[in-house]
Amino acid sequence: MSVYVIAEAGVNHNGSLKLAKMMVDKAKEAGADCIKFQTFISKNIVSKNAQKAEYQKYHTDENESQFDMLKKLELSFDEFVELIEYCREKDIEFLSTAFDFDSIDFLNSLNMKKWKIPSGDITNLPYLMKIAKLGKPVILSTGMSTMEDIKVAISVLKENGSGEITVLHCTTEYPTPYEDVNLKAMKTIEAEFDVSVGYSDHTRGIEIPIAAIAMGANVIEKHFTLDRNMEGPDHKASLEPIELKAMVTAIRNVEIAIGSGEKKPAKSEIKNMEIARKSIIASRKISKGEVFTEVNITVKRPGSGISPMRWFDVIGKIATRNFEEDELIEL
């Protein structure tokens, strides 16, 4: 199965449909399978007095509330209708995380193929039930979660009719320090819950998603932006388009390189076996009737003669003809 790469646009369009469409173009050019946005009505998900996270304060106007920040980042439902049609034109899958019930109903009306549950809603029982009852495949992010949180969320999803569940290991910090990534937790989740797993990355750079692929991730989600210097909460922890393309290219190379797991000579190396391996060879002139000994035979390239693994089959045998020095031995 090919690794499913989600280019996470999130709110990095800064509330501009024009920028959102430009991000669709860049995600497609990078080779991502999907571009994901965030659909929400600010007044439905945050109170007007809610504070911003520290990383949000650092990259936005620190005097504005979380509500005011989010309000500027909203796209309207009508804009999303236009955006999903644009994704169809560009032949890239549209996905958006719904953060409230109205947004779930709206996105469901657009017939999204799958649903993405954000880390912040893994403990939101009514939300989980509503998503599950849609009967579609679910991608579940697990930032800030314990194994018990994940266990309960998966149970709720399954009990309420969810489709196939993919669980993404994630650390909810922007950017995530390398020491907090803990990629091995992805394998723990896979073993404990017998689910397809992936990784939602918030580190700087592309090396951690690549490592996740090598460890068995089936889905990679990564934030990207048109310009990291833009004002907004997530730009600094995002890849720019050229970096996103480099990440996708590396992922495709790594998934090809992982292979089947069967150890055998690769097609490309078979031609080198004769050159690199060795054969049993005359170390000096040998006359017909002479006994092969450790004195008159040795091991050298090429590997087109008798294998050195048959050394003791040859020792003690009688030469049936004359051999010149460096000539391949024949029995």
What is the reported pLDDT for 48? 76
CA distance 172 to 143: 5
Residue 92, C-beta contacts closer than 8 angstroms, at least 6 positions apart: 24, 27, 28, 32, 33, 34, 35
Domains along the chain with CATH numbers? 4-258 (3.20.20.70), 265-331 (3.90.1210.10)
CA distance 24 to 9: 8
What is the reported pLDDT for 263? 97
The DSSP secondary-structure symbol of 294 reads: T
* 34, 90, 106, 196 from 76: Cα distances, Å: 21, 21, 11, 33
Return the closest-CA partner of residue 221 out of 5, 3, 26, 29: 5
- pTM, entire model: 0.89
Return the closest-CA partner of residue 25 out of 95, 96, 90: 90
236 close to 59: Cβ distance less than 8 angstroms: yes
Return the closest-CA partner of residue 192 out of 146, 144, 145, 147: 147
* 179, 244, 294 from 307: Cα distances, Å: 50, 49, 15
Return the closest-CA partner of residue 158 out of 125, 132, 126: 132
CA dihedral 247, 252, 255, 260 (to 10 degrees): -170
What is the reported pLDDT for 52? 64
Q: What is the mean pLDDT of each run of 10 residues along the chain (331 residues)?
A: 94 97 98 98 85 65 79 95 98 98 97 97 98 98 98 98 98 95 98 98 96 97 96 90 98 95 96 97 98 98 98 98 98 95
Residue 121, C-beta contacts closer than 8 angstroms, at least 6 positions apart: 99, 127, 128
DSSP reduced 3-state for 225: coil
Phi, psi of 31 (to 5 degrees): 95, 15
